[in-house]
């Protein structure tokens, strides 16, 4: 039985989104553990949370695309 193939573009986009999501999540986690934040840190924190949320949603969507493309390939 052959392994299902995913599109190279999907793999590249998945890796890029995953790295940005993990980086923003780490940033948000670090800033959330600080006792007080400056105004600039608060803006970075809000942006990191927004990027984390968007990235997580995008990753779930990409997993669905990869799964759908695997199901549409004919089996030999």
User: 24: which residues sit within 8 A by CB, 6+ positions away?
Assistant: 47, 48, 49, 51, 52, 55
State whether residue 13 is helix, strand or coil.
Answer: helix
Distance CA 43, CA 50 (A): 11
Percentage of the chain exceeding pLDDT 70 = 82
Quick check: is 28 in a domain?
yes
* Number of separate domains in the chain: 1
- pLDDT recorded at residue 54: 96
Reported confidence tier of residue 10, pLDDT bands at 50, 70, 90: confident
- pLDDT recorded at residue 75: 53
What's the token pair of residue 18?
Answer: 């995953």
Quick check: is 25 in a domain?
yes
Quick check: is 74 in a domain?
no
Quick check: is 65 in a domain?
yes
Quick check: is 47 in a domain?
yes
Quick check: is 46 in a domain?
yes
Domain range for 22 is 9-69
């Amino acid at each position: 039985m052959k392994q299902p193939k995913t599109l190279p573009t999907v793999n590249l986009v998945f890796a890029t989104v995953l790295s940005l999501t993990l980086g923003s999540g780490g940033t948000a986690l670090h800033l959330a553990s600080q006792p007080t934040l400056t105004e600039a840190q608060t803006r970075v924190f809000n942006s990191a949370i927004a990027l984390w949320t968007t990235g997580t949603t995008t990753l779930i969507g990409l997993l669905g695309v990869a799964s759908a493309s695997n199901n549409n390939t004919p089996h030999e």
